[in-house]
Amino acid sequence: MIFRGPRRRKGSTAIRRSVPVRTFSDWGDPAPGFVEADLVFHSGPYAKGAFSQTLVLTDVATGWTECAPLLVRDQTVLITALAELRKLLPFPLLGFDTDNDSVFMNESVHEYCLRDNIELTRCRPYRKNDQAFVERKNGAIVRKIVGYRRVEGLQATRELAKLYSSISFNVSIRAGPRDFGRRAW
């Protein structure tokens, strides 16, 4: 007997087609609350096995950035982390712009955004410049602090969460509007 679950869900391809594309030049001058999101892998030199990842949210208008480590790559865990990060933002979350990763492009995230009136958009496939705001912060914050080493296990992920909470305000308050992480902190 094969367990198929309670109902058939739309595949990420169907969701992806329904989510509008936003490019770097489409941003114009948005109000605070429109964020770009990305996941940073902490796999070390080999992406085999289980390892932690960091969800990075960067507000396009202000440069405000929040990070949360994820123990596993799962849409439910991602939504829980997003809900927690929303509480830390000094403004309401109005828009959520992601890449085309299946952890973002799925029915759970789509329904979460619809339910909370969050505009969900995505970048063009294989175009990192479409998410220049968050990509810059990936290097300026996550890689600068955590580096490229492997982070795995519950204890290491908890320590990463403590690290992010201790630097969160300092990182975001020093980043001016559209600063892209250029200032040293």
Strand order in the sheet with 95-98: 65-70, 53-59, 34-41, 95-98, 119-122
- Give the Cβ contact number of residue 150 at 10 Å: 16
Mean of pLDDT values over 141-168: 92
Condensed to tens digits (0 to 9), the pLDDT of residues 31-76 reads 899 999 999 999 999 889 999 999 999 999 998 999 999 999 999 9
Residue owning tokens 């969050």: 118
pLDDT of residue 170: 59
Q: Buried b vs exposed e over 105-127: b needs ≥16 C-beta within 10 Å?
A: bbeebbebbeeeebbbbbbeeee
Question: HEC string of the chain?
Answer: CCCCCCCCCCCHHHHHHHCCECCHHHCCCCCCCEEEEEEEECECCCCCCCCCEEEEEEECCCCCEEEEEECCCCHHHHHHHHHHHHHHCCCCCCEEEECCCCCCCCHHHHHHHHHCCCEEEECCCCCHHHHHHHHHHHHHHHHHHCCCCECCCHHHHHHHHHHHHHHHHHHHHHCCCCCCCCCCC
Which tokens in the block code for residue 145? 């602090």
Beta bridge partners of 21: 122
Q: Buried b vs exposed e over 65-78: b needs ≥16 C-beta within 10 Å?
A: bbbbbbbebebebb
pLDDT of residue 129: 73
* Max Cα distance, the chain (Å): 58
Residue predicted with more confidence, 11 or 39:
39
Asked whether the beta carbons of 163 and 157 are under 8 A apart, the reply is no
Give me the domains of the chain, ranges plus CATH numbers: 32-174 (3.30.420.10)
Query: CA 28 from chain center: how many Å?
Result: 21
Condensed to tens digits (0 to 9), the pLDDT of residues 68-104 reads 999 999 999 999 999 999 999 999 999 999 988 889 9
* pTM of structure: 0.83
Asked whether the beta carbons of 130 and 23 are under 8 A apart, the reply is yes
